[in-house]
């Protein structure tokens, strides 16, 4: 738009400095610099829709900056599991890789928000993908990417006694955030966990049929059900522990993703175990009751355009 | 990067490239018949906000993207690709603004910026900007600080809501960066084999691409003397340029505060739809 055209020049960044920041779990030097300068320039950036912006405006939330956290993480080799047939165990390396990629992403999101003096991050969207970044064999790599808008809340500013306030991360849309605040309920942070379990079952293989008497019977794959329960219990226990640490009275807006699939687990050269992998992940926002104002009763409406 | 820049001059009277039928359409619009791609709800809300649609405005550019070879082991911006995205966008947007200007519009709402890439033309990018030009009924000027009609990708509903909060759009701002992510060195890969470890050079590449894109978007907003950016669409895509080439693309509407407007809005009423 300007005569020089949108500043397509790239200033040489301090690459090695940024890498060591990332290795320490931080954000790159360029990101830190831009966010520092943002306040001086006056204009905010956001990834809010207009409706979100209007709600923020109404609630007295001042958007400060679009913020991001990401981590590309390599999943290492899972040590072979020698448990008995039908006995489940956690694939701890894979669970840990997902949990660390997510933790690093959210830690970076929080750092970005903190460096613009935010009191909360709203409208957070979470994405993860399995990439082909590492051609090292094993289980490949995952990328976790979270984006949102850092906001400052008028009235919450008096919390600044001494140290900078830790921004409250949420996993809520702005509309949900607004509804909670209006009902006197305060989000206190994000809780999340991923757990991947394996159960060895030699007879399970996609496409393989059972022979003999069992083929004629209805029966539950009890080991698989247990494996799924194992992953789920591990996740819910962890969410509860995290919520308690945040002083929350509950968790809302939980989104759950789970898969159960047959897989053969590498047991060293030429050896593999057939079985089922159950993965369970959940993410939600921990909340605490602050006031005692009952949520406003919604007005009932009926859409006269609805077909049928 | 600065050589080969072609800044398209802004000429509000330019009819360059507009075919005969298009000229007739614009002449008709000037006489008071409006065309638009607004839905009925959008049309009514824009009227309610004190604006009248004056005509559907279009700008397009089919652009050839040059070739850039990326080093196998170097993370770097693919400046030729980034610049192509910028120039094609600017050509399409400027043509649309000129059309709006000829209709005496204050600005354009509901701009759709379609970026097409085709199987049959690996090196081609098509930019089409389509929107509805609007004009304030009482003649209060709502143009951008640079005198051009404002542009926004806001729907009629969003436009109405934004005005109620005491803000108005001044222009669409874009941040784009096409980035090549380096492969890892053999020694580095070997050293990390089989371990749970963050691939920090890949993480850094994502950060770099995003930083460049966001900084450009902020600079565009600054040029428009904007108060902030809303309605942002942030995408990370690969455009079929191979898995080690990524694009960070964000587009949104820059806004300013409306003079003499307190911006107070009522708390919204919760409703429960009983239709099903």
Do the chains contact at B231 and A49, CB–CB below 8 Å?
Answer: yes
> What's the CA gap between A145 and A298, in Å, rounded?
35
- B204–A19: do the CB atoms touch at under 8 Å? yes
CA distance linking residue B138 with residue B50, whole number of Å: 8
Asked if A104 and A23 touch (Cβ cutoff 8 Å), the reply is no
pLDDT tens-digit readout, B35-56: 888 888 889 999 999 999 998 9
User: What's the pLDDT score for residue B133?
Assistant: 93
Q: Which residues of A241-255 are buried (b: 16+ CB within 10 A; e: fewer)?
A: ebbeebebeebbbee
Tens digit of pLDDT for each residue in B191-249?
A: 677 788 888 878 888 888 888 888 889 889 988 889 999 988 888 775 444 567 777 88
Per DSSP, the three-state class of B270 is: coil
Rounded Cα gap, residues B106 and B152, in angstroms: 12
- Which band of pLDDT confidence, cut at 50, 70 and 90, is reported for residue A222? confident
Does position A250 have pLDDT exceeding 50, yes or no? yes
CB-based burial, B230-250: b 16+ in 10 Å, e otherwise? bbbebebeebebeebbbbbbb
Specify the pLDDT at position B253. 93
* pTM score of the predicted model: 0.81
- Average pLDDT over chain A reads 80
Instruction: Answer whether B274 sits within 8 Å of A302, measured CB to CB.
Output: yes
Q: Would you call B222 and A50 a contact, using CB atoms and an 8 Å cutoff?
A: no
Inspect the interface and report whether the beta carbons of A44 and B228 lie closer than 8 Å.
yes
Partner A contacted by B140 (CB < 8 A): no
DSSP 3-state assignment of A76?
Answer: coil
pLDDT of the residue at A245:
94
Of B198, B206, B273, the CB nearest to A301: B273
Reference A30, options B210, B217, B76, B174; nearest CA is B210
The CA-atom distances, in angstroms, between A90 and each of A78, A82, A238 are 10, 12, 14
**CA nearest B233: which of B77, B111, B118?**
B111
Dist. CA B248–CA A70, nearest whole Å: 13
> In which element (H, E) is residue A250 found?
strand A250-266
Predicted local distance difference test score (pLDDT) of residue B140: 79
pLDDT exceeds cutoff 90 at A284: yes
- Give the pLDDT score at B141: 75
Confirm if A131 and A72 have CB atoms less than 8 A apart: yes
CB B125 within 8 Å of CB B74? no
What whole-number distance in Å separates Cα of residue B68 and Cα of residue A122? 39
Most confident of A78-82, A131-135, B40-44: B40-44
pLDDT at A6: 41
As a whole number of angstroms, the distance between CA A10 and CA A14 comes to 12
Instruction: Tell me which residue in A57, A132, A137 faces B165 most closely, judged by beta carbons.
Output: A57
Examine the pLDDT at B78 and tell me if it is beyond 60: yes
* B29 pLDDT above the threshold of 90: no
CA distances, B274 to each of A63, A301, A302, B10 (Å):
34, 6, 5, 52
Over residues A49-66, the pLDDT tens digits come to 899 999 998 888 999 999
Mean pLDDT of chain B: 81
Where residue A135 falls among pLDDT bands split at 50, 70, 90? Answer: very low
The first and second tokens of residue B59, run together, are 């700008």
Cβ–Cβ < 8 Å for B254, B174:
no
For chain B, the straight-line distance linking the first and the last C-alpha, in angstroms and rounded, comes to 57
**Greater pLDDT, B183 or A111:** A111
Which site among A45, A48, A145 would you substitute to test the B interface, given the most B Cβ atoms closer than 10 Å to its Cβ?
A: A45
């Amino acid at each position: 738009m300007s005569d020089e055209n949108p500043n397509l020049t790239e200033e040489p960044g301090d690459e090695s400095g940024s890498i060591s920041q990332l290795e320490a779990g931080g954000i790159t030097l360029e990101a830190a610099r831009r966010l520092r300068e943002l306040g001086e320039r006056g204009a905010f950036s956001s990834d809010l829709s207009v409706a979100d912006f209007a709600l923020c405006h109404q609630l007295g939330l001042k958007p400060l900056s679009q913020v991001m956290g990401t981590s590309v993480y390599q999943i290492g080799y899972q040590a072979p599991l020698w448990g008995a047939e039908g006995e489940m165990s956690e694939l701890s390396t894979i669970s840990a890789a997902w949990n660390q990629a997510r933790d690093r992403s959210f830690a970076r999101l929080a750092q970005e928000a903190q460096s613009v003096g935010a009191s909360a991050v709203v409208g957070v969207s979470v994405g993860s993908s399995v990439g082909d970044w590492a051609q090292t064999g094993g289980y490949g790599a995952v990328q976790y990417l979270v984006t949102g808008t850092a906001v400052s809340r008028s009235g919450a500013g008096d919390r600044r006694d001494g140290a900078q306030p830790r921004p409250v991360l949420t996993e809520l849309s702005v509309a949900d955030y607004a509804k909670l605040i209006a009902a006197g309920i305060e989000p206190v942070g994000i809780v999340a966990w991923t757990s991947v379990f394996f159960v060895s079952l030699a007879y399970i293989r996609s496409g393989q049929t059972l022979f003999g008497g069992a083929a004629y019977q209805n029966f539950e794959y009890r080991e698989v059900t247990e494996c799924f329960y194992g992953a789920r219990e591990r996740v819910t226990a962890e969410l509860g522990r995290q919520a308690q640490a945040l002083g929350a009275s509950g968790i809302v807006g939980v989104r759950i993703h789970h898969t159960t699939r047959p897989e053969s687990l590498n047991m060293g050269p030429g050896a593999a175990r057939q079985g089922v992998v159950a993965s369970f992940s959940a993410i939600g926002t921990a909340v605490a009751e602050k006031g005692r104002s009952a949520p406003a009763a919604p007005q009932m409406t009926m859409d006269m355009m609805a077909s049928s | 990067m600065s050589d080969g820049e072609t800044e398209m001059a802004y000429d509000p009277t330019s009819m360059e490239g507009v075919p005969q039928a298009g000229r007739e359409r614009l002449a008709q619009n000037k006489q008071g018949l409006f065309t638009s791609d607004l839905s009925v709800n959008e049309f009514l809300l824009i009227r309610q906000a004190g604006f009248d649609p004056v005509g559907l405005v279009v700008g397009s550019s089919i652009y050839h993207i040059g070739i850039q070879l990326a080093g196998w082991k170097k993370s770097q911006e693919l400046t030729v690709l980034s610049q192509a995205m910028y120039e094609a966008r600017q050509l399409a947007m400027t043509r649309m603004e000129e059309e709006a200007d000829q209709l005496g519009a204050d600005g354009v709402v509901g701009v759709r910026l379609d970026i097409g890439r085709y199987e049959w033309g690996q090196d081609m990018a098509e930019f089409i900007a389509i929107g509805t030009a609007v004009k304030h009924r009482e003649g209060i000027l709502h143009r951008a600080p640079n005198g051009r009609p404002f542009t926004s990708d806001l729907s009629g509903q969003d436009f109405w809501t934004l005005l109620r909060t005491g803000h108005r759009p001044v222009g669409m701002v874009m941040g784009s960066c096409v980035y090549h992510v380096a492969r890892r060195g053999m020694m580095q890969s070997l050293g990390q084999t089989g371990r749970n470890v963050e691939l920090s050079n890949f993480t850094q590449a994502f950060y770099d691409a995003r930083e460049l894109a966001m900084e450009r978007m902020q600079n565009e907003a600054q040029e428009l003397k904007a108060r902030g950016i809303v309605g942002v669409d942030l995408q990370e895509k690969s455009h079929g340029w191979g898995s080690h080439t990524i694009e960070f693309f964000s587009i949104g509407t820059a806004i300013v505060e409306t003079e003499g407007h307190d911006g107070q809005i009522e708390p919204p009423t919760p409703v429960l739809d009983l239709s099903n």
